[in-house]
């Protein structure tokens, strides 16, 4: 399978970005990515734009052409929407556009703006990532869906709130040096355990914040990069995508995420690697329990072993497999439609040594970015590798 070269990347800070419009945010990330790649707007053949609730947040559908215009082009575009995995799927479809030989240069990324909707509006928007007919109308909230998964996990494999607290503490600590992170603040296990309960067993520090932000990647073929003398040291060598039932009630188990497993198997096979080859990982930790489910779905830990990984120090920045060195969704923030691209950017920066936490993984050559939609009814996995 041909690889796709990551020629450039850019992102805005994540946080409550006030009155900055979605198009302004994507322009910032996208133009940075083009500059990083050494390319011009006219070089862009296609745009793959992830966004989840812009139809509500900015009364704006048809955001593909707006994203393209933000880059300074009228190249063909589309919005790709898979809830919290929107950008992950956008990256996947963009990788395909390059690998198929149909496009030379594509921009993949995304943007979300939710703070302008207020807390109730954002909560209402986020609920649309779950099944409205069979879950939301029955009274479940999105945090409650993950709380059910946490309870199912505890019952199947053991673990407790304190295990989850260690994940939050780790990701907050990782974000301390990341000036693009939404939450740059150290917390303790006691802070996490003492925080208000959101949906038992999940408390406030088990949940990621509601963030605004944008991220963009420039992908191209090895041939194009060579012909145009682009400086690039990282490539996407594997891309996988998995699915599952939308509603939790239809799943065999709430303690496992087969969509992640399927996506990982596909991505590993393409890259001809296995979980043991992975040096550094960004996973979708919208809630602390989601990090556990992801690590096990990715095959980095056996089922039942992921829950204690942070507590045992195996996923901290000095651990055997550092997880979410960017701070993860938990502390870096989670502008839904941008997250999947920001994860790929973080892994690339870690591999090429430009990430503020790159010194923690000086020998890393293989990284994985994992993005999940809703309660993991969608998942994407991308393998990135250092190239010569």
Residues taking part in catalysis: 84, 334
- Residue 40 touching a second copy (CB under 8 A): no
Give the Cβ contact number of residue 9 at 10 Å: 27
- Residue 76 touching a second copy (CB under 8 A): yes
**Among residues 65, 72, 275, 304, the one that binds a second copy under rule CB under 8 A:** 65
**Among residues 6, 25, 71, 89, the one that binds a second copy under rule CB under 8 A:** 89
- Residue 185 touching a second copy (CB under 8 A): no
- Residue 151 touching a second copy (CB under 8 A): no
Give the Cβ contact number of residue 177 at 10 Å: 16
- Residue 178 touching a second copy (CB under 8 A): no
**Among residues 163, 262, 282, 314, the one that binds a second copy under rule CB under 8 A:** 262
- Residue 104 touching a second copy (CB under 8 A): no
- Residue 132 touching a second copy (CB under 8 A): yes
CA dihedral defined by 350, 355, 358, 363, rounded to 10 degrees? 30
For the CB of residue 81, give the shortest distance to a second copy in the complex, in Å: 4
Q: Which residues of 66-76 are buried (b: 16+ CB within 10 A; e: fewer)?
A: bbbbbbebebe
The stretch among 177-185, 190-198, 258-266, 298-306 that binds a second copy (CB under 8 A) is 258-266
Chain-centroid distance, C-alpha 192: 23
Our CB check for a second copy shows the closer of 133 and 388 to be 133
Q: What six digits make up the tokens of 136?
A: 């939301």
- Residue 141 touching a second copy (CB under 8 A): no
- Preceding peptide of 201 cis, ω within 30°: yes
**Among residues 14, 52, 153, 224, the one that binds a second copy under rule CB under 8 A:** 52
Give the Cβ contact number of residue 78 at 10 Å: 17
**Rounded distance, CA 379 to CA 244, Å?**
9
Give the Cβ contact number of residue 133 at 10 Å: 9
Rg (CA), the chain: 19
Give the residue among 339, 332, 333 at the shortest CA–CA distance from 81. 339
For the CB of residue 169, give the shortest distance to a second copy in the complex, in Å: 30
Q: State the residue for tokens 């191209």.
A: 220
- Residue 61 touching a second copy (CB under 8 A): yes
- Scanning 217-318, the segments in alpha helix (DSSP H) are 222-227, 258-271, 288-297
**Among residues 80, 199, 271, 292, the one that binds a second copy under rule CB under 8 A:** 80
**Among residues 31, 56, 189, 273, the one that binds a second copy under rule CB under 8 A:** 56
Total residues in contact with a second copy, by rule CB under 8 A: 61
- Residue 263 touching a second copy (CB under 8 A): yes
**Among residues 20, 128, 151, 312, the one that binds a second copy under rule CB under 8 A:** 128
- Residue 265 touching a second copy (CB under 8 A): no
For the CB of residue 325, give the shortest distance to a second copy in the complex, in Å: 27
- Residue 325 touching a second copy (CB under 8 A): no
**Rounded distance, CA 112 to CA 78, Å?**
15
For the CB of residue 303, give the shortest distance to a second copy in the complex, in Å: 20
Half-sphere exposure of 65 (CA within 13 A, CB side): 4
Our CB check for a second copy shows the closer of 82 and 316 to be 82
Q: Answer left, alpha or beta for residue 72, where phi above 0 means left and psi between -120 and 50 means alpha.
A: left
Residues whose CB falls within 8 Å of the CB of residue 128, separated by 6 or more in sequence, listed in order: 52, 53, 83, 136
Our CB check for a second copy shows the closer of 246 and 309 to be 246
Give the residue among 119, 88, 10 at the shortest CA–CA distance from 377. 88
- Applying the rule CB under 8 A, the residues between 10 and 39 that interact with a second copy are 21, 23
Half-sphere exposure of 141 (CA within 13 A, CB side): 13
Residues that bind a second copy (CB under 8 A): 21, 23, 46-47, 52-53, 55-56, 58-66, 68-69, 73-83, 89, 93, 96-97, 99-100, 102, 125, 127-133, 136, 241-246, 250, 258-259, 262-263, 373-374, 377-378
């Amino acid at each position: 399978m041909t690889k796709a070269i990551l020629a450039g990347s850019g992102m805005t800070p994540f946080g409550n970005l006030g009155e900055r419009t979605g198009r302004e945010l994507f322009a910032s990330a996208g133009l940075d990515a083009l500059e990083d790649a050494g390319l011009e707007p006219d070089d862009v053949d296609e745009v793959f734009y992830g966004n989840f609730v812009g139809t509500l947040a900015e009364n704006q559908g048809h955001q593909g052409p707006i994203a393209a215009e933000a880059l300074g082009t009228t190249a063909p575009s589309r919005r790709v929407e898979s809830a919290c995995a929107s950008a992950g799927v956008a990256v996947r479809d963009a990788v395909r556009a390059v690998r198929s030989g149909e496009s030379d240069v594509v921009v993949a990324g995304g943007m979300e703006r939710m703070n302008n909707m207020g807390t109730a509006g954002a909560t209402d928007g986020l609920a649309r990532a779950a099944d409205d007919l069979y879950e939301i109308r029955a009274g479940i909230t999105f945090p409650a869906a993950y709380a059910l998964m946490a309870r199912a996990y505890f019952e199947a494999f053991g673990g407790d709130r304190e295990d989850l607290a260690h994940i939050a503490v780790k990701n907050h600590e990782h974000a301390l040096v990341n000036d693009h992170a939404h939450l740059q603040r150290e917390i303790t296990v006691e802070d996490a355990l003492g925080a208000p309960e959101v949906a038992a067993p999940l408390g406030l520090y088990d949940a990621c914040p509601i963030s605004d932000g944008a991220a963009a990647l420039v992908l191209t073929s090895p041939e194009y990069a060579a012909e145009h003398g682009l400086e690039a040291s990282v490539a996407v060598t594997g891309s996988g995508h998995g699915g599952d039932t939308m509603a939790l009630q239809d799943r065999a188990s709430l303690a496992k995420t087969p969509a992640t497993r399927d996506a990982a198997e596909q991505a590993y096979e393409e890259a001809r690697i296995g979980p043991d080859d992975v040096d550094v990982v960004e996973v979708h930790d919208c809630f602390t329990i989601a990090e556990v489910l992801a690590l096990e779905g990715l095959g980095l830990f056996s089922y039942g072993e992921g829950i204690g990984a942070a507590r045992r120090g195996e996923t901290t920045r000095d651990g055997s497999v550092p997880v979410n060195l960017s701070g993860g969704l938990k502390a870096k923030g989670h502008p839904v439609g941008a997250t999947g691209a920001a994860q790929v950017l973080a892994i690339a920066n870690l591999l090429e040594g430009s990430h503020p936490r790159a010194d923690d993984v000086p020998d890393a050559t293989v990284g994985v970015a994992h993005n999940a939609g809703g309660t993991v009814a969608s998942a994407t996995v991308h393998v990135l590798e250092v190239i010569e």
